[in-house]
Amino acid sequence: MTIERFIQLWTHRYHKYTHIATAHLKGRQARAHFQGVKRGLKKGQELIAIIRTEHFGDIVAAEPISRYVRQQHPDAHIVWFAKPGFAELVSHNPNVDEVFREICVTERRVLLEGKVFDKVFELQFRNNNHCPKCQVFTENPVALERDINVFNYFDYGNLLEVFAQTGGLIPPKTAFPADDQPRLYLQPSHQAKVDGLDLPGKYIVMHCRSNYEPKDWPADRWNQLVHWLAEKYDYQLVEIGLESNLNVKTPAYRNLCGQLSILETAEVIRRASFFIGLDSGPSHLGNATGTFGIILMGALNNFLNYNPYSGKYGRQENALLVRKAGLPCAQLPFEFVQEQVRSVLEKSADNARTVLS
C-alpha cells in the first residue's frame, strides 16, 4: 500500500466513524428531547412521528397526509422528520407541531429505538432510508410486508397514495380517503423576496433540468422551445431550478436558477401564468400553488404510464401531462411538445377573448 493510499483510507475511515459517532450522539440527544416533550403532554395525548425526509417534491406530494393524521389524531403532538434542506416545507404547516431535522438514518434509528413515539408513520422505503456516510440502510416493515419498493411503487398509485400505504395509513392499493390536493404554507418573507425580483406581470416559469437524468428533456430542445415562445407569444420566460444548462439569447428570458429557496421558488411559480417543466420537485410546487402545469413526462424505468400527482394535476384539471406511450421524456419530439404547449396557450387566449367580449 502506498502512503497516498494509506492516507486516503484512514481519512475516509476518520470521516465515516466521526459521522457515525455524531449520529449516535444526536440520536440520543433527540431521544432525550422527545422524552421531555412527552412528559409535557397532557394525559392521553399522543406523540406521533411522520417520516418523509426527502426529496422536496415527495414532501410536497405527501402534505395531505399531515392533514389526514391531524384529522385522525386531533390532540396529538405531531413531529415531521425531514432533512435540514427540506425542513422549510413543513416548518410552517399548521398541522405539524414540530420538525425534526434528521441528519441521517442512523440518528433516526437511535432515536426510535427509545420507543418514545406512540405512533410512527414512515412514508418511505429502503432507497430513501440510506446514509452513504454510514453505509447503512434501514427497512420499513410496512413497506416490506406490502412489497412496496423502488421497482414497483407506482403500481400502488400516485405518490400520495404510495406514501400513505407505506405508512400503514390506508390499505394496499386504495385511494387516499381525504382531500388529496397538496398545499404550501407561504410566508410574507417569501412574498417579499419575490417582490424584490421585479418580475413582469405576465410570465411563464420553466424548469428544464431535474435531479434524475432519465426524466430530462434535451437542452437543445428546451432552447428551441424558449426561442419559439419568445417569438410567438408576449410572455416573459423565467427559468427556475438549481442550475441551468440552457444557452438562450433572447431578452424575453431570465435565469433565476440557484438564487431562491424552495418556498421562494414556489412563490415565483404561484405568480406565473403557466408552469412548463419536468416530472420533478418544482412541478409539485406548481400543483400545490395552483398554477396550470404543462409537464413533460415519459416512460420511467419500468413504469411505462405512471402519474405521480394527486389533486388537480393528477386529475389533469389544472395540468396537461405531455407524453407519448412508451417513449421516455428524452425522446419526445420537439414538434410534439411544441404543439401541446401551443394548444394550452391558445386555449387560454381564446378563453380570455371570450371573457372580454
- Which pLDDT band holds residue 51 (cuts at 50, 70, 90)? very high
Using the predicted structure, report yes or no on whether residue 250 has a pLDDT greater than 90.
yes
- Which pLDDT band holds residue 135 (cuts at 50, 70, 90)? confident
Sign of the Cα torsion 52, 57, 58, 62 reads: positive
Using the predicted structure, report yes or no on whether residue 106 has a pLDDT greater than 90.
yes
Longest pairwise C-alpha distance within the chain: 81
Average pLDDT, integer, range 15-23: 88
Residue 12, pLDDT score? 60
Residue 353, pLDDT score? 54
Burial of 90 (0-12, 13-18, 19+ CB in 10 A): buried
- Which pLDDT band holds residue 302 (cuts at 50, 70, 90)? confident
With a pLDDT cut of 90, the percent of the chain lying above it is 85
**Which residues, in sequence order, are CB contacts of 82 under 8 Å at separation 6+?**
52, 53, 54, 59, 89, 90, 99, 100, 101, 102
Using the predicted structure, report yes or no on whether residue 10 has a pLDDT greater than 60.
no
Strand, coil or helix: what is 306? coil
Residue 163, pLDDT score? 98
Contact at 8 Å (CB) between 235 and 273?
A: yes
Contacts 24+ apart (CB under 8 A), 245-250: 245/208, 245/209, 245/219, 246/208, 246/219, 246/222, 247/219, 247/223, 248/223, 250/226
Residue 137, pLDDT score? 86
Strand, coil or helix: what is 302? coil
For residue range 252-299, what is the model confidence (pLDDT) as tens digits?
Answer: 999 999 999 999 999 999 999 999 999 999 999 999 999 999 999 999
Residue reference for cell 483510507? 9
Using the predicted structure, report yes or no on whether residue 127 has a pLDDT greater than 90.
no
For residue range 166-221, what is the model confidence (pLDDT) as tens digits?
Answer: 999 999 999 999 999 999 999 999 999 999 999 999 999 999 999 888 899 999 99
Residue 184, pLDDT score? 98
Residue 4, pLDDT score? 75
- Which pLDDT band holds residue 11 (cuts at 50, 70, 90)? low
Q: Distance (Å, rounded) from C-alpha 142 to C-alpha 236?
A: 47
Average pLDDT, integer, range 155-159: 97
- Which pLDDT band holds residue 128 (cuts at 50, 70, 90)? confident
Residue 118, pLDDT score? 98
Contact at 8 Å (CB) between 298 and 269?
A: no
Using the predicted structure, report yes or no on whether residue 28 has a pLDDT greater than 60.
yes
Residue 116, pLDDT score? 98
For residue range 327-357, what is the model confidence (pLDDT) as tens digits?
Answer: 999 999 999 999 999 999 999 876 765 555 5
- Structural domains present in the chain: 3-166 (3.40.50), 191-356 (3.40.50.2000)
